[in-house]
Amino acid sequence: MNIFKQNTRKNPLTTLVAASIMCLGLTAPASAQFGAQAGFNEVFQPDYYRRDMQLFMDYLKLEPWQKPIVEMMIEDYQISFDAGTQSCRDEMQNLKDEMMADPANAMQIALRPIQKWEREKQTMKLELIENIRTQLSPLQMERWPSLDRAMRREKDLPKGQIPGESMNLFVVLHGMELTQADVQAIDPTLLEYEVRLDQALEERNETLKKHQKVIQDAMVQKNIEVGMSALKKISESRASVCVIHFAALDDISANLAPDKAEEFRKTVLERSFPEIYEETIVDKVLKTIRTDRSLEPEQITLIDEIESRYLVSLEQSNISLLEAYKADGKQIPIIEAERAIARRNKESTRMAKLPESILALTREREEMLERYRQELLNVLSSNQRNSVRTRSLTDRTGAERTGNTGDKKMKGKSKNGRAEERGLQTNTPENKSRPAPPQKDSKALPAGNNIPK
């Protein structure tokens, strides 16, 4: 079984800062492990995109005459933002001489343009909001809080860095065939979840803003301990978002009919934790065996019995792993930072990539899967086993030739596809330079429902 994969692709801005230091033959003692956590990615992402116009229209119910005005304001903002980011990059590229003249403060010099641009970006955001609000009626102003919540869900949920942080229950519900009675049954729970989630995201954003500044200062001061302490506080705030998700998952499931509750829960967990719920080696073997027409009745009976036991064991393993991720998933960014410190110090990086609780359960799971795989193969004759191996190899080779390597790759593809799918993945900011555009689900819910989009 593959363990949860933390994306390690370099942030272009983190790379640019590091390159500015490295090109001088200097070391950046704290930058290697904290660069991705210092907020550089967010600084170079606009707060509003042209595509956000749809959210303004949906939530504020803009009049026809208002639409072109707001569109023009967003367009002007985007042009100014692009110019500002380019100016910041140019300034960073021109720091070489100054950094060579003052190597002791090279990191502080490298960060100066970013911090300056961060302040300018915040001013631009506030000015855009104020300009749009001057065009709204009193009724539309009353709708602004709903727009704020929708914007936070759309933009901030995909920024999760620990498993389960980016799950979006609203998206899953919109993809289900819910009746009016279903919607009415879950409406109070959904409203409570929407408010609590928004509060949690706001608190997480405040924590990020506060402690990313601490991390930046730690980079300048070469203080690893201070940076790690700030990183732990950020991870705690991320874990708080996960707690809100899981509580709502339980509450909503409890108010749905059993079959729909099972569908809802299964879909959320499969999308949020693909490394737990992906197809296993035993699933693949069973699928291949079931296509063998030479099986004797006695063999089919044994295979059915093994499969029955396997499904029970798999469910127990899934539950245990899920609980471990819920309890210790917040340690993953910290472990990655510790590994980066080891790499910087040229120490052995044969360190665990995940908390020991998760690794231990993963090892147990792999042993369990291998036992059931062997049990299934032992039921088969020599010719049947060879056929299973041949077909498995053929399927794998064919998938590689066509570029389709199975469900896991499809799930990975969805991360950068529709916002609905991406919102249910355990993403990191490094996974994408910009959030995907908001899109409406093609399945309409009953009229009058209160499930936010």
Three-state SS annotation for 356-415: HHHHHHHHHHHHHHHHHHHHHHHHCCHHHHHHHHHHHHHHHHHHHHHCCCCHHHHHHHHC
Question: Taking every pair of C-alpha atoms in the chain, what is the biggest distance, in angstroms?
Answer: 82
What sign for the dihedral angle of Cα 201, 273, 425, 161? positive
The token pair that represents 185 in the structure block: 């049954």
Helix then strand count (H, E) for the chain reads 21, 0
The token pair that represents 241 in the structure block: 């978002």
Q: Could you give the dihedral angle defined by the CA atoms of residues 315, 317, 321 and 323, in that order, rounded to the nearest 10 degrees?
A: 60
Share of the chain above pLDDT 90, in %: 53
Percent of the chain as helix, strand, coil, to the nearest 5: 75, 0, 25
Whether the model pTM is above 0.85: no
| pLDDT over 60 at 292, yes or no | yes
Whole-Å CA distances, 273 to 10, 45, 267, 374, 432: 23, 27, 10, 27, 19
Contact 380, 336 (CB under 8 A): no
Helix/strand/coil for 447: coil
Specify the residue for token string 């429902």: 449
The mean-pLDDT minimum among 2-11, 40-49, 281-290, 376-385 falls in: 2-11
| pLDDT over 70 at 37, yes or no | no
How open is the CA angle 130-133-139, to the nearest 5 degrees?
Answer: 155
The token pair that represents 283 in the structure block: 């699933």
pLDDT in tens, 140-196: 999 999 999 889 888 889 888 899 999 989 999 999 999 999 999 999 999 999 999
DSSP sequence for 141-196: HHTHHHHHHHHHHHHHGGG--STTTT--HHHHHHTS---HHHHHHHHHHHHHHHHH
Q: Which pLDDT score is estimated for 101?
A: 85
Contact 33, 341 (CB under 8 A): yes
b/e per residue, 126-137, with b = 16+ CB within 10 A? eebbebbeeebe
Mean pLDDT of 198-202: 94
| pLDDT over 60 at 22, yes or no | no
| pLDDT over 60 at 348, yes or no | yes
Mean pLDDT of 300-305: 96
Rg of the chain on CA atoms, in Å = 25
Note the helical H segments in 222-292: 224-254, 258-272, 274-277, 281-290
Q: Which pLDDT score is estimated for 36?
A: 55
Q: Name the band, by pLDDT with cuts 50, 70 and 90, for residue 213.
A: confident
Q: How far apart are CA 87 and CA 95, in angstroms?
A: 13
178 versus 452: which is more confidently predicted?
178
Q: How far apart are CA 153 and CA 35, in angstroms?
A: 25
Whole-Å CA distances, 124 to 41, 129, 138, 207, 437: 17, 9, 24, 22, 21
Contact 31, 17 (CB under 8 A): yes
Neighbours of 258 (CB within 10 A): 8
Residues in the chain: 453
Identity of the residue numbered 356: E
The residues, any chain, with a CB within 8 Å of residue 374's CB and separated by 6 or more, are: none
The residues, any chain, with a CB within 8 Å of residue 90's CB and separated by 6 or more, are: none
| pLDDT over 50 at 6, yes or no | no
